[in-house]
Amino acid sequence: MTRLVREHSVPALVLGDDGWVVGVRQIISPNQDARPDACPPSLIVIHAISLPPDDFGGPGVEQLFTNTLDVDVHPYFAEISHLRVSAHFFIRRDGELIQFVSTRARAWHAGVSAWKGRSRCNDFSIGIELEGCDTRPFEAAQYAQLTSLLRCLKRTFLIEDIVAHSTIAPGRKTDPGPFFEWRYVDQAMR
């Protein structure tokens, strides 16, 4: 797999002073607000999402994060259309990176959560969603983009930890799931 990630290498990313990665597609989510006391992020939370579940490539995630989910497209959408959620970043199966919230703002990705005795992880974290599920491996292009993004964030912020959504919300969340390969996170943070 390491060879495959190298084949899908992506250019180094640059984070602007405004908290937006230069040159990536931006879709601004209304599901955000100011970080309390301008608290800089020190935690990165890795998530996985697919809408409809186990289906990739459609507009469902973008619509969920912008409160425009069409409940007539899939029965599951009616169950979640009331949610007001977002993430800072979304990495599609082909490696495309989309940013929904500035890293300087608080995205609503973690929900009820705690890490190292601190609750409300949204206050001090950056959320990265990978297009995926608990039943399938992620793509090499996603790991390549994730590696580039993590290195960019590490250059800008004092990141203390990178964790799974399931780690900060045990019993409530399972993502990014058993197929996520944490060795790529370790490589990126060296």
What are 97-149's pLDDT values in tens digits?
A: 999 999 999 999 999 999 999 999 999 999 999 999 999 999 999 999 999 99
Is the previous residue joined to 36 through a cis bond, with omega within 30 degrees of 0?
Answer: no
Structure tokens at 185: 């996170």
Task: Indicate if the pLDDT at residue 6 is higher than 60.
Answer: no
Q: Which domains, and CATH codes, for the chain? A: 2-188 (3.40.80.10)
34: tokens are: 């100011």
Catalytic amino acids? 129
Place of tokens 């960019």: 152
What is the percent of the chain where pLDDT is above 90? 91
Kindly state the helix (H) or strand (E) to which residue 118 belongs, with its residue range. Answer: strand 118-119
DSSP per-residue codes, 9-72: --PPP-B-TTS-BTTSEE---SSEEEPGGGPPP-EEEEEEE-SSTT--SSSHHHHHHTT---TT
Average the pLDDT over 46-74 and give the result. Answer: 97
The pLDDT score that the predictor gives to residue 4 is: 46
Q: What mean pLDDT comes out for the span 4-26? A: 85
pLDDT digits (tens, 9 = 90+) for 142-168: 999 999 999 999 999 999 999 999 999
